[in-house]
Structure 1
Amino acid sequence: MLKKSENHMPLYIDLAKIVKNRIAENKYQIGTKIPSEMELQKEFSVSRTTVRKALKVLSDENYLIKLPGKGTFVSDKRNEIETQNQKFSSLTDSAAKTGKKISNRLISIKSITGDDEQNTFLQTNAQQQIIEIKRLRYIDDIPFCLEWIWLAPKYSAIKDEDLDMPLYKILQKKFHINPGKGKKTFKIAFANREESFLLNVDEKTPLMRIKDLVYDDHNFPLHITQEIIRSDKFTYAVNH
């Protein structure tokens, strides 16, 4: 049975750490299928929701990959494509260069407990609440990108801004901060029910998942962004 830890972290975080340790110890080997959600639920006496949240954390961190109709497998992190020290410009500006118009629709903004990756990068801890912004983005009025943005607590005043505006315009206007360099990671993901509905694609359609870890122009952590993108509507080019 998985018991709540003394540091009061959610159970799914503790379960994710256990699965991650099993991968590190080669108990779950690269390319092999891990136990099903039901098997993990029974082994640790936790809810199915807890198991799903834990597996999502590990999928987001590229430890696991879920193949529709087949199950969840241990990912080879070497297959993840990364770019280092890229100078970041806004998606809005990138699209404008091609004559396209980007617009945004705010879905939600809230304070959440960050995961290990978020807390490490944003230099926060489990007792602090980070800011999560979720938006649907359109290119020429067609939905093409579902976006999550995570910011440190010091940017909480962003909640009062018009979040349909481009992020970097808000950060520059409100906080006098501009993006600098960072790391961009590309990975193939398959559309779940929510993503298929919002992006107007069939469920399990291959999509491009892009994660950005961005520093400001003074080299301090600025934000983490995850984008789920329809590759038939937008293409990234990375120069080395």
Structure 2
Amino acid sequence: MIANFPILGELASEQAWQNVNRSFKWYTVAGRACGWLVTFKLEADQSAEMDDVLNKYPIYIQLQKKLLDAIHGREFEQGSRFPSERELSEKFGTSRVTMRKAIDRLVQMGVLERRPRSGTYLPERLFDRPISEHASYSVSDVVEKAGHVPGSKLLYFERKLAGKISAAKLEIDVETPIISIQRLRSVDGIPVCVEFIEIPAHLVPGLSASDVLENKSLYAYFRNVYHLSFRNKTSTISVHWATATEAEFLNLPAGSPVLKFESVNVSNDGIPFEFLRSLNHPDHVSFSLNHGKQLELASTSAPISMMMTGTM
């Protein structure tokens, strides 16, 4: 059994999880902007005892855990109005003040959003990625044209030798030098996907980590600096169960299912240029297949539509 439990505020301390560690095998502690997420790896016969431990924490933290479980269990529809504090306090048998504190935490985490004079909502998916065979747009460009704020955080940059999978995708020899980049992409400050990019090094000579940091759109940078134009060759979508590290980036419990998108982009003369993989938050990202003509990107729209080329 894997149990995830958020420890926030005054409980985000060494003593807090050491107390738990004395009774259970400590698996991992992951720091977050909103506090801490402690993940326990338990044997089956420890489950009941784990419930007893969790019950020792403040009621608002226990409620937050239950609400998160309900949200990730799809008990509430995306974009729908979240039940009121009164409804939830009656359902869980607690005071409205305590329930408000639990909901406030979820709002701070970006799981819920409050709308003036309307109430609390489970946000719509922020990112709809139609797949077409006509054109490819960068995440940053599409987000900006939709009136939102794109974000990109560089997690990893390395020059290395291609392994068998990368070499096959990029149609190069094994151990050919490649550039490996990992980024966390966000929309309006909310993490939406973890992105992994691999490019043959000889196609982008001199590319450095500072170039990635300084340019919000890598596609635009490649066009302007290396005079490269590219289109999609293949695209696939599958389900992936996020590791603890991947889930932490997306503010999800470890082992959560996410949408895995893979594509190979080629230059106009058909030379493989990029092997792209992205792990997409299931509550913030969706995909749609477009067989028609190229979609127009409106200056304002919600959710955001990202046009990706590809064949399914």
Structure 2's unaligned 5+ residue stretches are 1-130, 292-312
Does residue 258 of structure 2 align to residue 210 of structure 1? no
Structure 1's unaligned 5+ residue stretches are 1-82
**Match for residue 166 of structure 2 among 98, 107, 118:** 118
Structure of higher RCO (CA pairs closer than 8 Å, 6+ residues apart): 2
State the Cα distance separating 1:231 from its structure 2 match: 2.2
Partner in structure 2 of residue 91 of structure 1: 139
Partner in structure 2 of residue 200 of structure 1: 251
Per-residue CA deviation, residues 9-38 of structure 1 (Å, 9 max, x unaligned), is xxxxxxxxxxxxxxxxxxxxxxxxxxxxxx
Does the residue aligned with 2:167 lie in a helix, a strand or coil? helix
- CA distance in 1 between counterparts of 2:195 and 2:159 reads 16
CA distance 1:192–1:176, change in 2 (3 Å): same
**Match for residue 229 of structure 1 among 273, 277, 280:** 280
CA distance 1:116–1:127, change in 2 (3 Å): closer
Does the residue aligned with 1:93 lie in a helix, a strand or coil? helix
Q: Give the 5 Å matches for 1:154-173.
A: 154=202, 155-159=204-208, 161-164=210-213, 165-173=216-224
State the Cα distance separating 1:203 from its structure 2 match: 1.0
**Match for residue 185 of structure 1 among 193, 216, 236:** 236
- CA distance in 1 between counterparts of 2:285 and 2:209 reads 30
Letter in 1 for 2:262: K
- CA distance in 1 between counterparts of 2:165 and 2:277 reads 13
**Match for residue 191 of structure 2 among 122, 143, 146:** 143
Q: Identity of aligned pairs, percent?
A: 20
State the Cα distance separating 1:156 from its structure 2 match: 4.1
- CA distance in 2 between counterparts of 1:90 and 1:223 reads 13
Does the residue aligned with 1:133 lie in a helix, a strand or coil? strand
The CA RMSD over aligned residues, in Å, is 2.0
State the Cα distance separating 1:124 from its structure 2 match: 2.3
Determine which structure has more spread, i.e. the larger CA radius of gyration: 2
Per-residue CA deviation, residues 187-207 of structure 1 (Å, 9 max, x unaligned), is 011121101111111111111
User: Is the 2:170–2:264 contact (alpha carbons within 8 Å) kept by the matching residues of 1?
Assistant: no
Per-residue CA deviation, residues 30-50 of structure 1 (Å, 9 max, x unaligned), is xxxxxxxxxxxxxxxxxxxxx
- CA distance in 1 between counterparts of 2:251 and 2:272 reads 33
After TM superposition, the runs of 4+ consecutive aligned structure 1 residues lying more than 4 A away are 83-86
Output the TM-score relative to the length of structure 2.
0.47
